C-alpha cells in the first residue's frame, strides 16, 4: 500500500490536512486508533477563529456550520461581580468567532473525506513510524480484527496524533527541546440540558476560582469551573457543581444562572507545552502532538488547524514544484505563530485563575489587567485580535 502522505490521527490537525491535500490533488491515508463513533462524539473545543470559519467555507465543508453555529460578536469578562462586554467585532473590523463544537467540525471533515473517497482507517492498533530519516518512510499498523501488520509506504509521514501519540517521540531526544508549564489547577467541565443564560461566553474571575459559561446549542450548555486537577469527579455531586457555578458567575444585579440536568462531567489538567523542532527527516508533527495550551484562550484547535495549513502549502510546493523551501521552514513558520498563541493562553489563564501560591499581589495584578482591558482601547484591541486569531505571515 502506498500513499503520498501518511497521517496518524483523525483529529482536527489530521483531518484538515487531509482535506487540504485532497484539494491540492495529493493523496493521503489517515490512520486512527479510535472508532469513527468515538471521534465524532468526544466533547472538546468549542470556539473557531474567524479564519477557520472562512477556511471551512472555502473547502466546501462550511454549510452545516453556517446553519448551526452561534456567531458571537464578543466575549464577556467578569470580575468583582460585574460584567464587561469586550466587543471583539467592533475592535477587529467586523470579525466574529463561531461557537461550533470540535466534534461537529470533525463530522463535517469525515463526511467530506468519505465523499472524496480518500482513505481513513479507524480502529487501528500498533501504528508506528519507520524510516522517517530516509526517503522511504512508512507506517505499520494493524486493522481492527485483522491478524497481520500492514505497511503503508509514504513519501512523507505526519504525526497529527495528539499529545500522547508516537509522532513526537520519533524526533531524537538529542535534537528535541521541550518547553512546559503545568498549572496547579484543572477544569471541571459539564454539559447540561438547559437554555442559554447569557448571549455570549462569560470568563469569570472570582475568589473561589475561575468559571466559564459557554454553549453548545439552544438547549445544551457547556460550563467549566477551576478545580484541583487531582480531584476525583466522584467528589463533585451535581448540587456541588451548581453551587460553585452560581457563586462564581453571580453578579451584583438580579441575573441568575438557569440550571438543568447534567449529562456529562469530567476533570482535565491544564498545561502549556511546546516541542521544537516540529520536523525530523520526512516526519512532520502538527497540532497537540507539538504544542498544548490551556483552554482559557480557546486556541488549541485553532493552532492545530494553522499547522495543517502551513504543512499543506509546503507539501504542495514540494509535490508540484519540487521546492522544499517551505517544508524546511515548517518549524519556524509554525512556531512563530504558536508562541503567540501560547502567550495569549497563558496570559488569559494567569489573569483569570487563582493559582497555588498566589497572594494579594497577584490578585491586584489581575484586577489591574482586567481594568486596563475595560479602560484602554489599545489593550482591549490586543485581546480582541488574539481571540479572533492572529494573521498568518
Ligand atoms: P487530537 O484532537 O488529540 O487528535 C489526535 C488524534 O490522534 C489519534 N491517535 C492515534 N491514532 C492512531 N494511533 C496512535 N498511536 C494514536 N495516538 C493518537 C487520537 O485518537 C486522536 O483522534 O489532536 P489535534 O488534531 O492536534 O487537535 C487538537 C485539539 O483537539 C485540541 O487542541 C483542542 O481540543 C483544545 N481545546 C480547545 N481548542 C480550541 O481551539 N478552542 C477551544 O475552545 C478549546 N477548548 C480544548 C477545549 C480542549 C479541551 N480538552 C478536553 C483538553 C476544551 C477542553 C475541555
Ligand atoms: C468550550 O465551549 O468548550 C470552550 C469555550 C471557550 C474556551 C474553552 C472552551 O476558552
Nearest CA to 184 out of 294, 321, 280, 331 is that of 294
| Active site residue ranges | 72, 203, 295, 299, 387
pLDDT at 43: 87
Task: Please report the atom of ligand 2 found closest to the CA of residue 215.
Answer: 2
Ligand 2 atom 2: the closest Cα is on which residue? 46
**Mutual angle of helices 50-58 and 300-321, in 10-degree steps:** 40
Rg, C-alpha atoms of the chain: 21
Give residue 100 CA to ligand 2 midpoint distance, Å: 10
Burial of residue 254 (number of CB atoms within 10 Å: 0-12, 13-18, 19+): exposed
Long-range contacts (CB closer than 8 Å, 24 or more residues apart) made by 49-58: 49/97, 49/302, 49/388, 49/389, 50/92, 50/95, 50/96, 50/97, 50/388, 50/389, 51/389, 51/392, 52/98, 52/301, 52/302, 52/305, 52/389, 53/96, 53/98, 55/16, 55/305, 55/309, 56/105, 56/108
Contact 282 CB / ligand 2 (< 6 Å): no
Q: How far apart are CA 312 and CA 308, in angstroms?
A: 6
pLDDT by 10s per residue, the chain, length 393 = 999 999 999 999 999 999 999 999 999 999 999 999 999 999 888 899 999 999 999 999 999 999 999 999 999 999 999 999 999 999 999 999 999 999 999 999 999 999 998 999 999 999 999 999 999 999 999 999 888 999 999 999 999 999 999 999 999 999 999 999 999 999 999 999 999 999 999 999 999 999 999 999 899 999 999 999 999 999 999 999 999 999 999 999 989 999 999 999 999 999 999 999 999 999 999 999 999 999 999 999 999 999 999 999 999 999 999 999 999 999 999 999 999 999 999 999 999 999 999 999 999 999 999 999 999 999 999 999 999 999 987
Does residue 166's CB lie within 6 angstroms of at least one atom of ligand 1?
Answer: yes
What pLDDT sits at residue 280? 98
Query: Which one of the ligands is nearest to 75 CA?
Result: 2
Task: Compute φ and ψ for 139, nearest 5 degrees.
Answer: -130, 130
Residue nearest to atom 7 of ligand 2 (CA): 298
Atom 5 (ligand 2) nearest CA:
46
Is there an atom of ligand 2 within 6 Å of 46 CB?
yes
Cα separation, 13 vs 286, whole angstroms: 6
For ligand 1, atom 38, which residue shows the shortest CA distance? 300
Specify the pLDDT at position 393: 77
The pLDDT assigned to 45 comes to 83
Q: Does 12 contact ligand 1 (Cβ within 6 A)?
A: yes
Ligand 1: distance of its center to the CA of 67 in Å? 24
Query: How many angstroms separate the CA atoms of 285 and 198, rounded?
Result: 39
Strand segments, DSSP code E, in 15-96 are 28-31, 47-48, 70-72, 75-79, 82-86
- The answer to whether the CB of 342 falls within 8 A of the CB of 274 is yes
Query: Which atom of ligand 2 is nearest the CA belonging to 222?
Result: 2
Whose CA is closest to 50, among 80, 93, 17? 93
Give residue for cell 500513499.
Answer: 3
| Cross-strand partners of 192 | 221, 262
Angle subtended at Cα 308 by Cα 307 and Cα 314, rounded to the nearest 5 degrees: 95
**Comparing C-alpha atoms, which of 148, 97, 99, 119 is closest to residue 36?**
119
To test the pocket of ligand 2, the residue of 12, 44, 46, 72 to mutate (highest count of ligand atoms within 8 Å of its CB) is 46
Mutate to test the pocket of ligand 1, among 47, 125, 158, 165 (most ligand atoms within 8 A of CB): 165
Cα–ligand 1 centroid distance for 189 (angstroms): 16
Cβ atoms 143, 123 nearer than 8 A: yes
Half-sphere exposure of 241 (CA within 13 A, CB side): 27
* Shortest-distance ligand to the CA of residue 345: 2
pLDDT at 145: 87
**Residue 345 and residue 349: Cα distance in Å, rounded?**
6
Q: Is 1 helix (H, G, I), strand (E, B) or coil?
A: coil
Amino acid at each position: 500500500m502506498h500513499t503520498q502522505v501518511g497521517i496518524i490521527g483523525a483529529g482536527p490537525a489530521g483531518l484538515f490536512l487531509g482535506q487540504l491535500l485532497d484539494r491540492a490533488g495529493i493523496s493521503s491515508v489517515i490512520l486512527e486508533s479510535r472508532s469513527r463513533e468515538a471521534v465524532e462524539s468526544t466533547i472538546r473545543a468549542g470556539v473557531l477563529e474567524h479564519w477557520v470559519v472562512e477556511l471551512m467555507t472555502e473547502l466546501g465543508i462550511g454549510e452545516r456550520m453556517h446553519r448551526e453555529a452561534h456567531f458571537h460578536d464578543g466575549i464577556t469578562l467578569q470580575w468583582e461581580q460585574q460584567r464587561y462586554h469586550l466587543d471583539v467585532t467592533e475592535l477587529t473590523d467586523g470579525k466574529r468567532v463561531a461557537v461550533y463544537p470540535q466534534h461537529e467540525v470533525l463530522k463535517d471533515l469525515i463526511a467530506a473525506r468519505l465523499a472524496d473517497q480518500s482513505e481513513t482507517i479507524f480502529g487501528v492498533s500498533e501504528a508506528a513510524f519507520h524510516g522517517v530519516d530516509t526517503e522511504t518512510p512508512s507506517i505499520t499498523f494493524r486493522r481492527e480484527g485483522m491478524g497481520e501488520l500492514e505497511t503503508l509506504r509514504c513519501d512523507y509521514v505526519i504525526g497529527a496524533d495528539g499529545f500522547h501519540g508516537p509522532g513526537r517521540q520519533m524526533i531524537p531526544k538529542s535534537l528535541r527541546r521541550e518547553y512546559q508549564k503545568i498549572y496547579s489547577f484543572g477544569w471541571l467541565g459539564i454539559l447540561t440540558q438547559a437554555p442559554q443564560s447569557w448571549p455570549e461566553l462569560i470568563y469569570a474571575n472570582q475568589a473561589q476560582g475561575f468559571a466559564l459559561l459557554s454553549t453548545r446549542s439552544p438547549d445544551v450548555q457547556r460550563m467549566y469551573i477551576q478545580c484541583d486537577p487531582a480531584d476525583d469527579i466522584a467528589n463533585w455531586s451535581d448540587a456541588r457543581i451548581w453551587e460553585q457555578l452560581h457563586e462564581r458567575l453571580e453578579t451584583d444585579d438580579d441575573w441568575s444562572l438557569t440550571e438543568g440536568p447534567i449529562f456529562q462531567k469530567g476533570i482535565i489538567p491544564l498545561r502549556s507545552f511546546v516541542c521544537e523542532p516540529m520536523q525530523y527527516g520526512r516526519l512532520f508533527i502538527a497540532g497537540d502532538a507539538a504544542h498544548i495550551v490551556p483552554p482559557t484562550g480557546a486556541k488549541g484547535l485553532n493552532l492545530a488547524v494553522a499547522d495543517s495549513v502551513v504543512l499543506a502549502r509546503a507539501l504542495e510546493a514540494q509535490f508540484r514544484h519540487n521546492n522544499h523551501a517551505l517544508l524546511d521552514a515548517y518549524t519556524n513558520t509554525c512556531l512563530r505563530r504558536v508562541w503567540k498563541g501560547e502567550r495569549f493562553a497563558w496570559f488569559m489563564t494567569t489573569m483569570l485563575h487563582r493559582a497555588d501560591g498566589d497572594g494579594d499581589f497577584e490578585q491586584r495584578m489581575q484586577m489591574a489587567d482586567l481594568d486596563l482591558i475595560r479602560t484602554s482601547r489599545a489593550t482591549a484591541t490586543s485581546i480582541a485580535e488574539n481571540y479572533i486569531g492572529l494573521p498568518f505571515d
